[in-house]
Amino acid sequence: MKTVFRSLLFFAILSLFACGGDDLNAVTGTWKLTALECNDGVTTTTIPDQNYMITANYTFMAKDINTTLELNKDGTYTSSGSYTQVLSTTIDGSTTVQEIPVNDFFGSGVWELEEDQIIFITSQNQENQMAFFTIEGDVLNMEYLLSTSTTMASGGLVGTITQDATIFCTLERD
């Protein structure tokens, strides 16, 4: 579960913003993460052969943020820093809250602008993209719609984990 939530955060920040094709200067440079949150996360695990389905609703926010993202004009990016993810998960009416340290936020790779999106390709060749929300001066607000489905098999059982969430990020030019 920890990996899933790190992936969520990874996708959220990785997929930062988009501008017109001639606005390369508007997005290059160093950005500081100032806020990261999700208020509507849902993860559903289903194992059809066992008539099993469980749904977890979650929210999270970042605190103790010390994370930067460097977008270079040569199409490379690097990130550094850490934050603490405060994750609240509710399953069958029972809520748990965890604080999860997140380090090496999303590493490095290459990026490019494409219409109203920026595409990041990580060093693991994983492609992600994000729709632009707003950029006002030195403040970038963005929204990422996450929707995944993963099929897993173990011990002869096959199950599916689906995940849907909207992740909001705010960054400021450093």
> Residue 144's Cα: distance from chain center in Å?
7
Contact in structure between 70 and 78 (CB atoms under 8 Å)? yes
In the predicted structure, residue 142 carries a pLDDT above the cut 90 = no
Mean pLDDT confidence for 139-143: 83
- Give the model confidence (pLDDT) of 18-59 as tens digits: 344 446 778 889 999 999 999 999 999 999 989 999 999 999
Reported confidence tier of residue 132, pLDDT bands at 50, 70, 90? low
User: pTM (2 decimals)?
Assistant: 0.77
Mean per-residue pLDDT over the chain, rounded: 82
Residue that wins the pLDDT comparison between 92 and 2: 92
What is the reported pLDDT for 4?
43
Mean pLDDT confidence for 58-87: 94
Report for 26-30, 98-102, 166-170: range of highest mean pLDDT: 98-102
Whole-number Å distance between alpha carbons of 5 and 87: 9
In the predicted structure, residue 86 carries a pLDDT above the cut 90 = yes
Mean pLDDT confidence for 2-7: 44
Q: How far is CA 136 from CA 92, 130, 169, in A?
A: 41, 17, 14
What is the reported pLDDT for 82?
95
